[in-house]
Structure 1
Amino acid sequence: MVYSRRGSPGSRLLLLWLLLVYWKAGSGQLHYSIPEEAKHGTFVGRIAQDLGLELAELVPRLFRVASKGRRDLLEVNLQNGILFVNSRIDREELCRRSAECSIHLEVIVDRPLQVFHVEVAVKDINDNPPRFSRQEQRLFILESRMPDSRFPVEGASDLDIGANAQLRYRLNPNEYFDLDVKTNEEETHFLELVLRKSLDREETQEHRLLVIVTDGGQPELTGTVQLLINVLDANDNAPEFDKSIYNVRLLENAPSGTLVIKLNASDADEGINKDIGYFFSNLVLDDVKSKFIINSNTGEIKVKGELDYEVCNSYEINIDAMDKSAFPLTGHCKVVVKLLDVNDNTPEMAITSLFLPVKEDAPVSTVIALITVSDRDSGANGQVTCSLMPHVPFKLVSTFKNYYSLVLDSALDRESVSAYELVVTARDGGSPSLWATASVSVEVADVNDNAPAFAQSEYTVFVKENNPPGCHIFTVSAWDADAQENALVSYSLVERRVGERALSSYVSVHAQSGKVYVLQPLDHEELELLQFQVSARDAGVPPLGSNVTLQVFVLDENDNAPALLAPRVGGTGGAVSELVPWSVGAGQVVAKVRAVDPDSGYNAWLSYELQPEPGSARIPFRVGLYTGEISTTRSLDETEAPRHRLLVLVKDHGEPALTATATVLVSLVESGQAPKASSRASAGAVGPEAALVDVNVYLIIAICAVSSLLVLTLLLYTALRCSAPPTEVVCTRGNPTLVCSSAVGSWSCSQQRRERMCSGEAPPKMDLMAFSPSLPQGPASADNVSFLILTSNFPSQFLNIKCHIHPVFLKNYALVHKYCSTQLLH
Structure 2
Amino acid sequence: NKSMLNWRWQALWWHIFFLLWSTIDGQTRYSIPEELERGSLVGNLAKDLGLGLSDIFERKLRVASEAGKQYFSVDAGKGELVVNDRIDREALCGQSASCVLPLQVDVNDNSPSFLKSEHIIEIAESTVLGVRFPLESAEDPDVGSNGLKTYTLSKDECFTLKVKEIENGRKIPELVLNKSLDREKKATHNLFLTAMDGGNPVKSGTSKIIVNVLDINDNVPLFENTLYKVSVQENSANGSFVLTTKANDIDEGPNGEIEYSLGIHTPSSVISLFHIDPFTGEIFLKNQLDHESQSSYRIDISAKDKGFPKMEGHCSVQVDVLDVNDNAPEIIMTSKPSSVPEDSRSGTVVALISARDLDSGDNGKVTLQLPKGSPFTLKPSFSNNYELLTSAPLDRESFSEYNIEITATDSGSPSLSSKKPSYNVYLKENGVPGSILYSVSASDLDSGENAKISYSILDSKVQDVSVSSYVYINSDNGSIYSMHSFDYEKLKVFQIQVQAKDQGSPSLSSNATVHVFILDQNDNAPAVIYPSSAAMGSLSHQRMPRSAKAGHLVTKVTAVDADSGHNAWISYKVSEATDASLFTVNLYTGEVRTKRAVSEQDDSSQRLLIEIKDDGEPVQSATVTVSILLEDGLHEPILDLRQKAFEPSKKTGRITLYLILSLASISVLSLVTFLILAVKCIRNSRSSASCCTRQSDFDDYKNPNRNLQLQLNTDGPIKYVEVLGGDMLSQSQSFRSCMSPMSEYSDFTLIKPSSTTDFKEVISVLDASLPDSTWTFESQQVSREIIMCLSILPFISIRI
Normalised to the residue count of structure 1, the TM-score between the two structures is 0.38
Normalised to the residue count of structure 2, the TM-score between the two structures is 0.40
